[in-house]
Amino acid sequence: MDELFRASLKIEPYQVECAYCGEQFEVMIDCSIEQQSYIEDCAVCCQAMQFSVSIEPNIEPSAQDSVKIQVQIKSLEE
């Protein structure tokens, strides 16, 4: 993805672990939306998972990132 385009949309890559197979994969998080909930399939086993995402400003002076991303993932069976 073009870096300038991604920066204008405030989209950040984020590593997650599948709730089913345990494999790690990368998702793209839209940091312009503070609270979001959506369903996305695992890139490895294709099982659907519920993502709950929270975006907060990063106020730590030594922080390289301008936002803190918190992601909770659960299987749809829970």
pTM for this entry: 0.71
Mean pLDDT across the stretch 20-27? Answer: 95
Min mean pLDDT across 16-20, 36-40, 73-77 is at: 73-77
pLDDT classification of 58: cutoffs 50, 70, 90: confident
Residue 32 CA to residue 30 CA, distance in Å, equals 6
- For the chain, report the end-to-end CA distance as a whole number of angstroms: 34
Residue 10 CA to residue 2 CA, distance in Å, equals 12
Most confident of 11-15, 21-25, 29-33: 21-25
Residue 57 pLDDT: 77
Per DSSP, the residues of 29-78 read: EETT-SEEEEEEE-TTT--EEEEEEEEEE---TT-SSSEEEEEEEEETT-
